[in-house]
Structure 1
Amino acid sequence: MTEAMMFSPMNKPVHDWTGKRIWLIGASSGIGAALARQALAMGAQVAVSARRVESLQAVAGTNGNALILPFDVLDHAAWRTRHAEVCAAFGGVDLMLFCAADYRPERSWEVSDDVAEQTIKTNLVSVYSALSSVLPDMLAQGSGGIALVASVAGYMGLPNASVYGPGKAALINLAEILYSDLRSKGISVYLINPGFVKTGLTEKNDFAMPAMQTPAAAAVEIWKGIAEGRFEIHFPRRFTRILKLVQMLPYRWRFALFHRFLHMT
C-alpha cells in the first residue's frame, strides 16, 4: 500500500449534491428526517421512505425533488417494488442511506424473545433486503454509495442495550465487510456511529446522556463526513473518542466503569 493510499479518503468525496439521487430509509423523523430536509436544500433528488406517510409528507413539503415512498422495511417484497419506483422516477440511486431503527432500553432480564426478534429484524435483517434491492444496479453502473446508521452502542456491550447493542455491533461488522467487498467495484460505503441524538428513541431513556445533539446537528455531521469521503462517521467527537478509548481497556477496568456509571444514574 502506497503512502498516498494510506492517507487519502477511504471513499470518493462528494462536494456537490445537486441532482444526486438519494434513497433515504427511515426518513419520517429524527436523524432521517433531518438528513432528508438538508439533502433537499442542497439540491438533491430525495426519495423518502418510512411507514408513516403523513410524516413523510411533512418532511418533503412542496419540494419538487422529493419522492414519497412509504413502506414497512420488514416487507421484503416491498423493497424491490419501491426500488423500482425510485429508479423509474430518478433513473437510478446514487446513495442509499439506511436510518430505520427500533430501540427500547432493557437489561438482560427484561428481554422478551418476540420483541427482541422484532428489533433485530428492523435494525439488521431489513438491511439485507435493502442490499439485495440496490446492490445489483449499483454494481451494474459501477458507482453508488451505501450508508448505514449504526450507533456507538455497537462499539461494546453497554448497559441497557441488551438487544439494540448486538444488532448495531453486527451492523458495524457488516459495513466493514461491505467496504472490503465493494471498494474495488466503485461503490462507497459509509458507517455512521452517532452518540446520543434527541429523538423519539432516546426519549425512552431514563439515564444521563452526555453530549446530546439535535437531529439537525447530527445530519450536518453526516453530510460533512460523506463530503470528506470518510468511512466511519462518528460524532460528537468529544464523546465518541472517549468511548473508543474505553473500548481499548481490559475488560476488568471496562466493567468497573460501567458498574460505577449504573450506580450514578
Structure 2
Amino acid sequence: MSGRIAWITGGGSGIGRALALELANHGWRVAVTGRTRETLDEVAAAAPEGTVRAVPADVTDLAATREAVRKIESELGPIDLAVLNAGVFKPFEAENFDAEAVNATMAVNYTGAVHGIDAVLPGMRERRSGHIALVSSVAGYRGLPLGAPYSASKAALIALGESLKFDFDRLGIRTSVINPGFVKTPLTAKNKFPMPFLMEVDDAARAMRKGLEKGRFEIAFPRPLVYGLKFMRLLPYALYFPLMRKATGR
C-alpha cells in the first residue's frame, strides 16, 4: 500500500483525523477534506512531512466536492482509496421534532457521501480500480433512542454500500462499509449516557486501516457491541422495543 493516495472527508477531527495519521504513518499519501482549513492544516502538521495535504471543501456542495477531487488528482495523482467519513450528530427527541435538523444531518452524513462517490467514481471506473469506503455506524443496524436522524442516515449508508457493491464489483472497484461503535471523539462527547465498549480513537483508526487493507466489505468494531446489536437486529419488534427501553431508560 506504500505510496498510494487516500482521500478522507471529515478529515479534520475525530476518526477522520486519526485515520489520516494512521495511513500516513503506514506509507500512504493522504488528502483530508473538511470545512475548516485550520483543523486540516493541523492534521497535516501532525503527520510525517509531506504525507498529508489539506483540501478544504463542504461535502454538501456537489460542485465543491468535485473540485476537491479534481485538485487532489491533479496535484497528488489518482485516488486509490476514498473514505467518505464526514458526519454530524446531535441527540434528537421527538418532543422537539425539527425537519431542518433531520435534513441537515442527512445532508452531511448521507448526501455528503453520495457527492463523494459522484466525484471519485468517473476516474475509478475509467481505471477499473479503486476502493470506496462509506463510514456508517452500528447505529445504522436498528433505530436507536435519541438518534432518529443519525440512525436513519447511517442505515441509508449501509444500504447504499450493499446495493452499489454489485455494480462496483463488475467495475473493478472495492466497496467497504465501516461501522464503528462508540469512539472517543468530539461527536460522542455530546452523549450524556454511559457508552458501552467505548474505544480510543487511535484503536478505531488502526482497526479501520487493517480492514481496508484486507479489502473487507464490512469493517465493524468493537466486536462485543457489534455482535450484541446484530443480535438485536434479528429480534421481532415485540421483543426489541421493550429490551431497548430497559437498556436505555427511554
Which band: TM-score by shorter chain? Answer: over 0.9
The sequence identity of aligned pairs, in percent, is 40
Q: Give unmatched runs, 5+ long, in structure 1.
A: 1-16
Q: Give unmatched runs, 5+ long, in structure 2.
A: none
Does the alignment pair 1:191 with 2:171? no
Instruction: Answer yes or no: is the 8 Å Cα contact 1:31–1:219 preserved in 2.
Output: yes
Structure 1 segment 21-100 matched on structure 2, within 5 A? 21-61=5-45, 63-100=49-86
Q: How big is the shift at 1:176?
A: 0.4
Q: How big is the shift at 1:80?
A: 1.4
CA distance in 1, matches of 2:224, 2:49: 36
CA distance in 2, matches of 1:76, 1:159: 31
Instruction: Answer yes or no: is the 8 Å Cα contact 1:150–1:172 preserved in 2.
Output: yes
Instruction: Answer yes or no: is the 8 Å Cα contact 1:96–1:145 preserved in 2.
Output: yes
AA aligned to 2:177 is L
Q: How big is the shift at 1:119?
A: 0.8
CA distance in 2, matches of 1:67, 1:259: 45
Match of 2:157 in 1: 171
Query: In structure 1, the residue corresponding to 2:154 is in which secondary structure?
Result: helix
Aligned Cα RMSD in Å? Answer: 1.2
Query: In structure 1, the residue corresponding to 2:243 is in which secondary structure?
Result: helix
Per-residue Cα deviation, 1:49-91 (whole angstroms, up to 9, x for no partner): 1111111111111621221101111122111111111111122
CA distance in 2, matches of 1:201, 1:66: 23
Q: How big is the shift at 1:249?
A: 1.1
Match of 2:102 in 1: 116
Instruction: Answer yes or no: is the 8 Å Cα contact 2:43–2:52 preserved in 1.
Output: no
Match of 1:206 in 2: 192
AA aligned to 1:133 is A
Equivalent residue for 1:233, pick from 211, 219, 235:
219
How many correspondences in the alignment?
A: 248
Q: How big is the shift at 1:172?
A: 0.4
Query: In structure 1, the residue corresponding to 2:186 is in which secondary structure?
Result: coil
Query: In structure 2, the residue corresponding to 1:206 is in which secondary structure?
Result: coil
AA aligned to 1:55 is T
Does the alignment pair 1:181 with 2:178? no
Match of 1:134 in 2: 120
Q: How big is the shift at 1:23?
A: 0.7
CA distance in 2, matches of 1:209, 1:169: 20
Match of 1:104 in 2: 90
Give the TM-score, by structure 1 length: 0.91
Instruction: Answer yes or no: is the 8 Å Cα contact 2:136–2:178 preserved in 1.
Output: yes
Instruction: Answer yes or no: is the 8 Å Cα contact 1:53–1:70 preserved in 2.
Output: yes
Instruction: Answer yes or no: is the 8 Å Cα contact 1:190–1:230 preserved in 2.
Output: yes
Instruction: Answer yes or no: is the 8 Å Cα contact 1:40–1:63 preserved in 2.
Output: no
Which aligned segments of 4 or more residues in structure 1 are displaced greater than 6 angstroms? none
Query: Which of the pair has the greater relative contact order for Cα pairs under 8 Å at 6+ separation?
Result: 1
AA aligned to 1:256 is P
Q: How big is the shift at 1:242?
A: 0.8
